[in-house]
Structure 1
Amino acid sequence: MGLLKKATGGSILSKVLLFGVLPVAVLGGGITGAVALHNNSVKAEALSIIKSEVTITYGTPLTVDLFVEPGADASRCSFASDVSVINTDDLASYELSIISNGYKTKSKLNVVDDVPPTATAVPQKVYVHQLPDPNDCVTDVSDKSAVTVQFAEGVDIGLGGPRMVDVELTDYYGNKTVIPVPFEVIDDHTAPVIEGCQDLTFIVGDTPMFRTGITVTDDYDEHPVLTIDNSQVNMEEVGTYPLIYTAVDECGNMSSVEVTVNVIEEEQAEEVAAGGGTVNYGGGGGNWHKYDNCTNADAYAAASKIYNSICKSSQSDVLRGLKIFYWVNHNIGFALHHTTHASWAAAACQAYGRRYASCYGQWAACKGLLDVAGIPNRKVWRNSGNHIWCLCYLNGGWYHCDSTQYPGAGHTFSYMMTDAEIRKAIGYHKNFNTSSLPPRATVSVQKYINVHKCTVSSGLKLVTPTPTPIPTPDPTDDPAAPTSSSATSQAASTTSASTTTSASTTTEASPTTAPATTAPAEETTAPADPTKAPDPTQKPDPTDTPAPQPDPDPDPGAGGE
């Protein structure tokens, strides 16, 4: 022991003993060996607390304690590498130098995506055996990487009813999330319903509109598909042909309706119309220009025959007016093509004779009948210029009336409506020119009117007296005015500005109850004097001839006027 103290000194020995080194090591290698052993031991201990590889989730703040083993003292550890250049939002791997208790070592840093995707379920309404795209079943998908969406294994919607369907979301790194999606599975075996089909009659060479007036509905599918098979119809040859309407819904349920298409000669058309039939419903063709030269007298003569067959002079103006619009709606089909606008009289004659017209022609047909009935009426233009209808003085007030057949609306039409009501009615009435119109009625009478049954409720208080029939004047060889007794009794209470001669008539008594608006100060065209022959050179009132106005956005199926 004395030799040890001499050779090494007590202080060194005590230090060696302090670090747990056996004295024999000192004796064997001297003091240099003891120090080396000591340093190695310290280094080993310092480096042992540093992890060789660290994996963190993207976005994790980078601190040195992430690299220190749990329970070890990280206070004497620091980064030797410049970690300020590392963005942990980026997925990558880095080799870093770390100092522990003065000793440097290396460690690998992996920034990874181990977060599963997130998403929100989108409830689905589907038919049996018809799985939607799984991507449509979730929304707000969020993840660091690309996500694949698919149905979980074993999904079955072969039976109707509510259920939860699992949708799996897997990102690029294999992280997976399962989102339960509510499904309502519909077991549908009901075919769509096709309505509005009827046998059709066209003139040879016409351009038919087979789709007009046809509606298709389904118990689930909001947009069933309608196809029309006209492959057996030859519009260039007189004959009878089958036309087949077929509707299919989303489930494949199918229904069909077959109708007959009659293609006739021009000469037969007016015979069919005269017999109450409908010719060329929704189409046009043939020699339609032959009506261009029709006069007011021609129009009133044709209107008188129709009026006398549908109205009685003992009826109120409200009921007679309703019968007029009902007749036009049910007997004059809508067409955009092959219709004359040469004058109101030409358009009316074509409507009466061919039984089809644009909205201008349907207005003209109503005007002719209203004039014959002695019901004051005015013309209403839509601001865009592509639709026209009537304003009629009925029951002491001015009301909107429109007979136009709108595709898909069946035989619904507008009668005795206020401004507010006509703007909401079927068709194209929202914006119309009021500058030239008299004040309109504001009190609704719709609850008293049934346009489908052509009836007026007895609950409607009539403020216009029912006309008293008077003898019909003797007709001339070429009558220029209506021949009905009511036309004579009510032809015009005031003289139209556009008529050169007014008929001598008996006007109705003033109503005893205050009308909804003031009585009209001016009528539209009154029938000509029945004692005078029409002037063949007389030109139509320019206000009755539609002025072409380009419409940047015409309504489909409107008048196209």
Structure 2
Amino acid sequence: MKKKSIVILVIILLLIIISLGVGLFIFYNTKSDLVYSEVYVEAGTSDCDVTEFLKRGEPTAHFTKDSEFDPRVPGDYELKIAWEMPVFGTVTDKTILHVQDTVAPEVQLATDSVDMYVTAQAPSAADLVESVNDVTNCTIDFAEEYDFTKEGEFEASIVVTDEAGNQTVCTVPCKVIEDNTPPEIKGVEPLQFAQGDAVSFKKNIEVVDDKDENPTLEVDNSEVNVDKRGVYNLTYIARDAAGNETKKTTTVKIVSAKISEATEENVNALADAVLADIIKDGMDQKAQAKAVFNWVVNNITYSETAGIDDLYSAAYKGMYYHVGDCTVKQKTAEVLLNRLGIKNMEIEKIRDTRGHYWLLIDIGEGWYHYDPNLQLDGTLIFYWHDADLWAYSNAHKNTHNYDPSKYPTIQ
């Protein structure tokens, strides 16, 4: 009986050992059969899910808390994946994530070609690149050294390299020009103006260059006093893109002021001379209106003499003699704005002890107040809303009290 019990016990132990062996065999084979030992992804991947590491579906699979990686950054990451198994509970297996960078940088050039003079600063490779798109930092270099100090034409290769060694090569045609010929200034001759005349020193002056289509012209009139009789030196300075320079000097004779007929033609000629000096390329209508406003405020001295109602007589006085009352200032501004094609209209104060005139202007945004007179307290009323003008007028003894029924809606 005792012997039989021992045999039964041995059989049970053998069964347990066999079961454990089979279980362990299944356990380890199940682990290795679920998780890939290595996974490769391209750097810059926005997301990297655990399912990409599994050979088959396992809803409980997940990365362990100590499995940290960034699929946007190249490198090798050792990871652990855990999942639930019947009988054995939570099990884990190891894998390696290889984040690779095999994609060359995307490069946008800043220019299709380079045209420059030998005297100009040589560009770097980075100067010729507008943007670079890559998951890593990149270097930008020329494929070789290029000589930008000698005249000639060549193709410059720009090499953009990322941290993984991927490269993008772009080619830019380059033309280096040698220019030792200075520009030519045409039309320079002695000038004569009357005292107080509005003058344009650049009128009839032309600058040409054999290679530069847009040479610059500078006028040095620092010695000229248009309000004082005398003979003065005036210098023109022309420069081309290569840095070549030409200077020409002439004389300006200022004679006694003369009275001219205030005809439309004469007044428009005076207006055009003023505008030639104050209006710059690229100005929009608001900037042009401000330039006219500043000129009238700064160049016409206020005088309480009898006003002039005629448009051209008043504007002539303002532009020729640089003196006048609010009517002269308003009408001078009106003529200048008309020459620029800026919509405007006269507005009149309700007369009490004294009258006053100013303008409304519309540059496509509705009507605004435009008073080219320096107010007694130093205020400048340029492009004012109606509410702001009323507030100012009410606070300063009705300086701009007017009848709204006579005018269009003011902003």
Relative to the length of structure 2, the TM-score reads 0.48
- Larger Rg computed on CA atoms: 1
Relative to the length of structure 1, the TM-score reads 0.37
Q: Which has the higher strand share?
A: 2
Task: With a CA cutoff of 8 Å and minimum separation of 6, indicate the structure with the bigger relative contact order.
Answer: 1
